[in-house]
Structure 1
Amino acid sequence: MTAVDTLVGMTPQKTPQTMKPATAAKKLGVYLEATPAEFREGVVSRDELNALQADPPEWLRDLRRNGPHPRQVVAAKLGVSISGLARGGITDPLTTEQIDAVKADNPEWLQRERATQAEVRKEAARLKNQK
């Protein structure tokens, strides 16, 4: 029996799928720079990500509740696109408190971007109904 014969009969060990912390943070909807050092400096397996989603630790619950939030979350909470945030001059992560303050102020750019977003959604729905 040769070494090749031995290898053919063996089942390969599955290596766990891992991702960079930035990818995991995006999937969790949190701002990477606000996560604990051990999260930022390691790699995250698919099983670890699933565990974080199923039973979030206190640091993750706190980040999701209070922020700072990444741009895609800020945009969603304000009801605008990420591009709309940039046009409004918001380029940094915001906390929930800061997002609430922007909503309360309801600046002209926010009203304009929300209207634009509503038009985009309406057009997307119209196109979907045409098909």
Structure 2
Amino acid sequence: MKSQQSTQTMKPATAAKKLGVYLPATPASFQEGVVTRAELNALQADPPEWLRELRRTGPHPRPVVAAKLGVSISGLARGGVTEALTTEQIEALKQERPEWLEKERATQVDVRKEAARLKKLKQEPEESGPERG
């Protein structure tokens, strides 16, 4: 007997997150109902014009804004950025280089350096093996 396989679906918010787009900026047809795994795969493989345009010009969700600015999501909040931004607004911030952005970028660099240092430290004992003397 063949079992019936159910179609995996997700909420539009989950699909938007996986696509890296800001849900309120998507078409109403996307926001209503559910998205199947097959539909999500199709959107990723061959994005329609609305999806390409959203990815190109925004508005972008906070994780994308943070990545484009080189800061953390928390850093965005500390800088007072709580809303989605367009590519144009992100570029303007990069040009203006407000104090909070420079500080958060420096913090992010320090965080990455520390993470790399800890990773290297963790790998060293594994690589060195038993000590010889």
Give the match for residue 95 of structure 2: 104
Give the match for residue 127 of structure 1: 118
Task: Let me know the Cα RMSD of the aligned residues.
Answer: 0.5
**In the alignment, which of 77, 81, 86 is matched to residue 90 of structure 1?**
81
Q: Deviations over 1:43-93 (max 9, x none)?
A: 111111010000000000000000000000000000000000000000000
Shift, 1:103, TM fit? 0.3
Are 1:79 and 2:66 matched, yes or no?
Answer: no
Q: Distance in 1 between matches of 2:12 and 2:66?
A: 22
Residue 117 of structure 2 aligns to a residue whose secondary structure is: helix
Give structure 1 regions of 4+ aligned residues with deviation exceeding 4 angstroms: none
Q: Distance in 1 between matches of 2:35 and 2:121?
A: 42
Read off the aligned partner of 1:67 and give its amino acid letter.
G
Are 1:40 and 2:39 matched, yes or no?
Answer: no
Number of residues paired by the alignment?
122
Shift, 1:11, TM fit? 2.5
Q: Distance in 1 between matches of 2:55 and 2:33?
A: 21
Q: Distance in 1 between matches of 2:22 and 2:106?
A: 27
Read off the aligned partner of 1:29 and give its amino acid letter.
G
Q: Deviations over 1:12-53 (max 9, x none)?
A: 210111100000000000000000001000211111101000
Read off the aligned partner of 2:73 and give its amino acid letter.
I
Are 1:62 and 2:53 matched, yes or no?
Answer: yes
Give the match for residue 25 of structure 1: 16
